Structure 1
Amino acid sequence: MMISQIGKITAFVADQDRAKAFYVDVLGFAVRADNVWGDNRWLEVGPGEAGTAIILHAPFPGASAGNLAGVMVNSPDIDKVVARLRDAGAVVDGPTDEQWGRQATFSDPDGNSFVLVADGPR
């Protein structure tokens, strides 16, 4: 196979500081990079220090915030994450029990949407 992993995903956001607060304070992600070069800010977050990261970036010309959809994230305690999201004011659908396992859906403050999937056996 030519591709070994997905390294980074870009989520366009209208306000990088607001997005950083959501991903770090609500989802518990770590800031992996937060650098500014001229008018560009590279803000990279992810669960822990390794694995796929999400770049929280201002939209490029012709793009708009909130267009990321269907990214799946996992948790060993889906109920705790759902409660934390709701406490922070996020709209969450679920969790629901599906044939493949337990899941919920939510969006960040810009409308980038995620599917939260429970780790482990059903």
Structure 2
Amino acid sequence: MRWTLEVVSVPVSDIDRAKAFYVDGLGFHVDHDTTAGPVRFAQLTPPGSGCSIVIGMSAMAPGSLQGLQLVVNDVRAAHAELTARGVEVGEVQYASREGGFRPATAEDDLNNSGFLFLSDPDGNGWAVQQITARP
């Protein structure tokens, strides 16, 4: 049997504001934006991902979801793209083998060790990790 994770619910306070952030800022695609009676929700998918997020259908408090992670093949390019789109994103970080993070240098091999951190307008926390080769 194959098990796949395909949807994660992200708690937001304003669907339109969150949708704009994820679509215009992060480049997610809108799968659908649906109203069913009094409930509105939208499903959004990162480019190339098999897993989507749903906004507008969560029992969690807006901003309470932390540790969501996207993977890219070039974290520096992702940083430049997000910054160009107006997304507030921290500096590229290197996950040290000794533990913890420090600002990345040009000499650092960022495969599996390069990260960015950002939050959506409600404070839900995201990491972006570089994986260019898997063991």
Residue 67 of structure 2 corresponds to residue 70 of structure 1? yes
Q: Give structure 2 stretches of 5+ with no counterpart.
A: 98-111
RMSD: 2.3
Q: Report the alpha carbon displacement of residue 104 of structure 1 after superposing the two structures with TM.
A: 1.2
Aligned length in residues: 118
Structure having the higher strand fraction is 1
- The alignment partner of 2:92 has SS state of strand
The TM-score normalised by the length of structure 2 is: 0.75
Match of 2:118 among 94, 106, 120: 106
Q: Is the 8 A contact 1:70 1:115 kept in 2?
A: yes
2:128 aligned partner: 116
Q: Deviations over 1:34-92 (max 9, x none)?
A: 110111112010113751111111553xx4201111011012232233234445252x3
Using the size of structure 1 for normalisation, the TM-score is 0.82
Moved more, 29-38 or 97-106: 97-106
Unaligned runs of 5+ in 1: none
Q: Is the 8 A contact 1:30 1:49 kept in 2?
A: no
2:55 aligns to what SS in structure 1? Answer: strand
- Of structures 1 and 2, the larger Rg is shown by 2
Contact 1:27 1:81 in 2 (8 A): no
Identity, in percent, stands at 30
> How many Å apart are 1:11 and its aligned residue?
0.6
- Say which SS state the counterpart of residue 83 (structure 1) adopts: helix
For residues 22-61 of structure 1, the aligned pairs below 5 Å read 22-48=21-47, 51-57=50-56, 59-60=58-59
- Give the Cα separation in 1 of the matches to 2:13 and 2:19: 11
Aligned match of 2:104: none
**Partner residue of 2:92?**
95
